[in-house]
Chains A and B, each alone.
Chain A
Amino acid sequence: MNAILEALDRYAHWAARWPVLAALAPFVPVVALWWGVAAAGVFPRAFFPAPPDVFQSFLTLTYKGILPAYLEDSIGRLAAGVSVGILLGIPLGILVGLSGVARKALWPVLLFFQAIGDIAWLPLLLIWFGFGLGTMTFVIVYTVIFPVVINTALGVRSIPPELVRAAQSLGAPRWRILTDVILPGALPNIMTGLRNGLGYGWRALIAAEIIVGTSGIGFLMFDARRAGSAVEIVLGMIVLGLLWYVVDAWILAPIERATGQRWGLVTRA
């Protein structure tokens, strides 16, 4: 028992010093289990590839340039859709948060369209935009915008009225109230909306690529299914997971640490 505790202690020490270790270590048992099941030969190798097969496939597809190109396509589509979603969603969320009239008018509509769901739009979008970037951008913007609008509005509503009053008494004009009180006050919620929006958007993109795609990670996986290549499907799944981890750990989490957590608006995880 003591030895285990000691080992855990040592692990915590090293993990604190090497964040990469902390990120990778939890996957060791997962990969080990996967490898073990694959090696046991319960399933045919073609249906249930082992880690080395997937790694081999990773090397081949990277060498051929397919994986980098598809990755670039997927990320580019996501970035375009998310940017539009943010640029539309944050101002709309602030409007809904600040104005009672806008809230009464828009809230039911927001909930209605959010409920329809992104994929449900695809048949109609294919008629409108065909199999192209238009359809995919629409789906991503659509998925991203609702969590961003709704969380931004909630964030604006969560700002204590006294903060606005304090700024007004110090002589702040309206636009300063917006930039110095409303926006930073809503930022932790905006980040939550972004996090959700990115997550949904990413999933919507893969789904869209599977249905309308001619390239991208989703297309890679669907194409592999047609060819009966389980290896490439598993590879695609791993790429999806890794990519999300990178976005979260390198982009979202640092922003949250530097803002809401430092200000004491949200508690540390």
Chain B
Amino acid sequence: MKSLTLRNLHKTYFDPAVGTRVTAIQDVSLEIGAGEFVAVVGPSGCGKSTILNMVAGFLPATRGDIIVGDRSVKGPGRDRGVVFQNFALLPWKTVIDNVGFGLKMRGIPKPERDRIAMEFLELAGLSQAAERYPNELSGGMQQRAGVVRALANEPDVLLMDEPFASVDAQTRMTLQEELMRIWGERRHTVLFITHDVGEAVFLADRVVVLSKGHVLREIPITIPRPRRWDALTEDGEFKRLSAEVLQMVRAA
């Protein structure tokens, strides 16, 4: 695992409706240690996705640096695995081929990448669905596949933009717990975007509250791991932290 550093990031968009440049991200600096899980929360339009898309290399930063380990990054790369809100599985590939896609890009021969992909599918409880196409899977299963597709490629950093926002509440809790279990085993460096305060507090080592393109505050989450929902929903510390973050988001 490697650390992820954002240094004095700026992003301005050209807004054709107004005809001027609008500032989406204003001087954001963030230090995510190797193996640390950081969640970014904030009201809609505060710039969460913009930050993630810059880190992923999908958008150029107007100013500032993005550093993975000790290497400044530009453009997308397999050192930063991305999990998308709408899964972004390739519809024309079976689940196992989706999960093995990154390995294929590295030139790993088919039997070997199928073996590795299968291991990850088992990790996500998807081994039965290996030969199916994404559209034949439920939303929850698709996102499990989306997560292990990123993991199977062994990224240094995992980037997730509201990955569980488009599944139902029950499935979301299950996926959150599964993510905790998998993350507990491998300790990836994670940048996790969400507007769900409870989710942020449940998952993260640290919650960053974003407001109008700048960091409002960072709150360390000291709740011991492993965390499970049935134990935490009534937990005093969890409730206190959630309330604190929520207050800040609403004031943002």
Which A residues are closer than 8 A to B by beta carbons?
A: 160, 162-163, 165-173, 176, 180-181, 184-185, 187, 259, 262-265
Contact of A172 among B56, B88, B105 (CB under 8 A): B105
Contacts A165-B76, A169-B76 known; 18 new A-B pairs at CB < 8 A: A162-B84, A168-B76, A169-B56, A169-B150, A170-B105, A170-B149, A170-B153, A171-B78, A171-B102, A171-B106, A173-B105, A176-B105, A180-B90, A180-B101, A263-B91, A263-B92, A264-B133, A264-B136
Least distance between B153 CB and chain A CB atoms (Å): 6
On chain A, the residues within 8 Å of B86 by CB distance are 160, 162
Question: Which residues of chain B are near A168, meaning CB under 8 Å?
Answer: 57-58, 75-76
Which residue among B56, B57, B88, B136 has the maximum number of chain A CB atoms within 10 Å of its CB? B88
Q: Is B10 an interface residue (CB 8 A)?
A: no
B49-78 interface with A by 8 A CB criterion: 56-58, 75-78
Q: Contact at B102–A170, with CB atoms within 8 Å?
A: yes
Query: How many contacts between A and B, using CB within 8 angstroms?
Result: 73
Assess A169 versus B82: contact at CB under 8 Å? Given A162-B88, A263-B135: yes
* A103 CB to nearest chain B CB (Å): 18
A265 touches B91 (CB 8 A): yes
Q: Which residue of B lies closest to A168 (CB)?
A: B76
Is residue B81 within 8 Å, beta carbon to beta carbon, of the partner chain? yes
Given contacts A173-B105, A262-B133, A263-B133, A167 and B90 within 8 Å (CB-CB)? yes
B80 at the interface (CB under 8 A from A): yes
**Is A170 in contact with B88, judged by CB distance below 8 angstroms?**
no
Given contacts A172-B105, A176-B105, whether A166 and B92 have CB atoms under 8 Å apart is no
**Could you tell me which B residues sit within 8 Å of A by CB distance?**
56-58, 75-78, 80-82, 84, 86, 88-93, 101-102, 105-106, 133-136, 149-150, 153
Q: Are B105 and A171 within 8 A (Cβ)? A: yes
A171 touches B77 (CB 8 A): yes
- Give the interface centre of B78, B90, B134 by most chain A CB atoms within 10 Å: B90
* Contact among A160, A173, A187 with B88 in the assembled complex (CB-CB below 8 Å): A160
| Chain B residues with CB under 8 A of A181 | 90
A206 to B199: give the CA distance in the assembly, Å: 66
Q: Across the interface, which residues of A come within 8 angstroms of B78, CB to CB?
A: 169-171
* Shortest distance between the CB of B102 and any CB in chain A (Å): 4
B88 and A259 contacting across the interface, CB-CB below 8 Å: no
Q: Give, as a whole number of angstroms, the nearest-CB distance from B232 to chain A.
A: 32
Provide the residues of chain B in CB contact with A259, threshold 8 Å.
92
Considering the complex, give the chain A residue whose CB is closest to the CB of B155: A169
Contacts of A184 in B (CB 8 A): 90, 92
Q: Which 6 A-B pairs have the closest CB atoms?
A: A264-B135, A171-B78, A170-B102, A168-B76, A184-B92, A166-B88
A167 to B80, CA, bound (A): 12
Given the contacts A160-B88, A264-B91, A166 and B77 also touching, CB distance less than 8 Å: no
**Chain A residues, Cβ within 8 Å of B91:** 185, 263-265
Provide a sorted-by-A list of 26 A–B residue pairs whose CB atoms are within 8 angstroms. Answer: A162-B86, A163-B88, A163-B90, A165-B58, A165-B88, A166-B84, A166-B88, A166-B90, A168-B57, A169-B76, A170-B81, A170-B101, A170-B105, A170-B149, A170-B153, A171-B102, A171-B105, A176-B105, A181-B90, A184-B90, A187-B92, A263-B92, A264-B91, A264-B133, A264-B135, A265-B92
In the complex, how many angstroms separate the beta carbon of A175 from the nearest chain B beta carbon? 11
Q: How far is the CB of B88 from chain A (nearest CB, A)?
A: 4
B88 contact set on A, CB distance < 8 A? 160, 162-163, 165-166
Give Cα distance in the complex from A166 to B153, angstroms.
Answer: 12
Q: Give bound CA distance, A160 to B58, whole Å.
A: 14
